[in-house]
Chains A and B, each alone.
Chain A
Amino acid sequence: MTTVSGWGRFPVVDTEVLRPRSFEAVADAIVAGSVARGNGRAYGDAAIGAARTIGMTGFDRVRSFDPATGRIRLEAGVLLSDLIDAFGPRGFLPFVLPGTRFVSVGGAIAADVHGKNHHGEGGFGRYVDSILLHTGAGETIEVSREQNPDAFFATVGGMGLTGVILEATMRLRTVETGWIREQVVSASDLDAAMRALQASESATYSVAWIDCVARGRDLGRSLIYLGEHASADELAEGADRFPVGKKPGLAVPVDLPAMALNRVTIRAFNELYYRMGARRAGSDHLVSLYPYFFPLDSLADWNRIYGRRGFLQHQCVIPEAGARGVLGDILDRVSKRGDASFLAVLKKLGHGDGLLSFPLPGYTLALDFPVKGDILDFLDEVDRLVVAAGGRLYLAKDARQSRATFEAGYPALSRFKAIRKALDPAGNIRSKLSQRLFDEVKP
């Protein structure tokens, strides 16, 4: 048995971990209560098997690549950071880059991860053409939009619960450079932030950092980061077309004491961050894709700043119509507590593709909280606001939502369950997350 947790380091559970080296060994590894795990960046309990966790990062080979079409076939354990490293300098990047590049392709499909372009270009699954899936019934099948579409759309965003993703074929986008032309817009409150995101629908990339300790008339003040791929002729003479991604330089060496992040330090940080950002507002400038897409990747093991007890990320999406009121209500409650940290993100999303994909047209808000005090009760209260507004929570971040919240948020659940039942009649593929949220067999 090994002690395993997600990126949020909550919950921490015992599971058997196997690291198969061949697809045959994957088949042999599946027992009742197994689920695949990629690079362990899901925050909660999604990538922890009910009984056994199958580590997939050993499957890290690219099978083939066609530069004429950008189509790539690869094993599920390849990390997005590997793809950027190898194909970026050749003028290709994944269409969808989430907030960290240290996620596996299998994990990115299973969570149907989104990036700063979701409002216009959709999620990770949209660029996946087909998936080689090993089902809980022991079959290895290729699924796509044409061939077994039910299994395909259950697997995209299906949190690994349709089987083990072995390989995938997907498309990369062509880019001239590895630079982003960034524009920073400062918004003095929530209305201004939402207006700015609305007005920048045509931007390829957009995301707002939101100061979740600002209160009163500053409530929801934000910096909005817009981005476009820079063309080669925008670069200064002699600049590298593709910047080098540095290994995470700084690392958080130990678990910080829980009090390192408190009302005062967070408020001071946010004030400074907002003022510095606001000074850059207005003019365009070029930034490397690494700080633009992955601001936290430069700080290795940043999850340790929340201390040994870990942290929770609460990421909800609220349908556009009722978003202003609910977001204002949530932010008001959060700012009064003052313990949500500097990682608060507001962004517009479009339609999700998979049956359990998180995105829906509206606004997503992500907030981090250290695990302590009455935080679980507080988040249950927030969930009631989310559910009342027709919203839902992101499973890749979730460690604690209730069955009722989940069922209310994911109306395609019964269809997903039926497809899963057909692929895995015995119910072998089960994670701690599926046990918590919808498996009929209780732990």
Chain B
Amino acid sequence: MTSRMSVLVLGGSSDIGRAAARAFAKAGYDVGLAGRDVAALEPDAADLRARYNIEVGLFKFDVLDAASFDGFVASLPALPDVVISTVGLLGVQQNAESDLAHATTIMRSNYEGPSLILGLFAEKFLARGNGTIVGVSSVAGDRGRASNYVYGSAKAGFSAFLSGLRARCSRSGVHVVTVKPGFVRTKMTEGMKLIGPLTVDPPVVGKAILNAVEKKADIVYVSGIWRLVMLIIKTLPEAVFKKLKF
């Protein structure tokens, strides 16, 4: 064990998870990566060790297996200082409209699972008296849009959960951060038409998460322009908004 700070990244194989792990590792944190396929995380662990000379632990974690969460937390060698959930599933909106199983998976991957596991960490952090919880939500949760409302509604639920958790923890040493990245060039968005000036690369999100943790920010839009874009989208009257097909 070292005396360094530690971070646990849930969804460690996602592009945002990898970028967050690198940003924290660079800042001197020891890193835990958690994901469904531990073997697939090995190359990233080797990368973090080689680059930053830190300790990296790998843990099996399945966001859809809520029954395993208690055991997962109990099995960690130490409670981390920071836990980040980058878990998420965009899914396919059109399929989710008729395929209830697909819709359920999207909802559970983006809302139920991340909320439950971060809630559990909050209990442990409150008992310890400190800790930082980061949920990577989405601007898609700010208002339901025709093109992705199954995903968006789940992210809205997650954002609301984080907001409530933050309020509850506000008088303790535990801090809760909500991150809304906007468009990011990742595996998840590959092939999508993204708007250049509104789109960032994963390392930008990684650094924004580190920054938010260090500054104890509450809600972070990774690029400031998204705050403005979503403000406009949120304030459009529903009568107008419902006609928009984006």
Interface string of B9-30 (1 = CB under 8 A from A): 0000000000000000010000
Give A178 to B96 CA distance when docked, in angstroms: 53
Among candidates B26, B50, B187, residue contacting A62 with C-beta atoms closer than 8 Å: B50
- Within 8 Å CB of B190, what residues of A? 19
Residues from 372 to 422 in A contacting B, C-beta threshold 8 Å: none
> What is the predominant secondary structure among interface residues of chain B facing chain A?
helix
Give A299 to B47 CA distance when docked, in angstroms: 29
Give A61 to B52 CA distance when docked, in angstroms: 12
- Within 8 Å CB of B46, what residues of A? 61-64
B104 at interface, CB cutoff 8 A = no
Give A67 to B47 CA distance when docked, in angstroms: 14
Among A83-91, A139-147, A271-279, the stretch that binds chain B is A83-91
A281 at interface, CB cutoff 8 A = no
A242 at interface, CB cutoff 8 A = no
B43 at interface, CB cutoff 8 A = yes
Contacts A19-B190, A62-B51, A63-B50; is A86 near B26 (CB within 8 Å)? yes
Give A27 to B135 CA distance when docked, in angstroms: 37
- Within 8 Å CB of B53, what residues of A? 67, 90
- Within 8 Å CB of B43, what residues of A? 61, 63
Size of the A side of the interface (Cβ < 8 Å), in residues, is: 13
A180 to chain B, nearest CB (A): 23
A32 at interface, CB cutoff 8 A = no
B142 at interface, CB cutoff 8 A = no
The residue in chain A whose Cβ has the minimal distance to the Cβ of B48 is A62
B44 at interface, CB cutoff 8 A = yes
Residues from 29 to 71 in B contacting A, C-beta threshold 8 Å: 43-44, 46-47, 50-53
Residues A86 and B44 in contact, CB atoms below 8 Å apart: no
Give A86 to B51 CA distance when docked, in angstroms: 6
Give A19 to B43 CA distance when docked, in angstroms: 18
A65 at interface, CB cutoff 8 A = yes
Contacts A19-B190, A86-B52; is A61 near B26 (CB within 8 Å)? no
Residues A21 and B26 in contact, CB atoms below 8 Å apart: no
- Within 8 Å CB of A85, what residues of B? 26
A29 at interface, CB cutoff 8 A = no
Among candidates A19, A21, A72, residue contacting B50 with C-beta atoms closer than 8 Å: A72
Give A45 to B47 CA distance when docked, in angstroms: 32
Residues from 279 to 312 in A contacting B, C-beta threshold 8 Å: none
- Within 8 Å CB of B50, what residues of A? 62-65, 72
- Within 8 Å CB of A63, what residues of B? 43, 46-47, 50
Residues B44 and A61 in contact, CB atoms below 8 Å apart: yes
The residue in chain B whose Cβ has the minimal distance to the Cβ of A66 is B50
Residues A61 and B47 in contact, CB atoms below 8 Å apart: yes
A78 to chain B, nearest CB (A): 9
Give A61 to B43 CA distance when docked, in angstroms: 7
Contacts A85-B26, A86-B26; is A65 near B187 (CB within 8 Å)? no
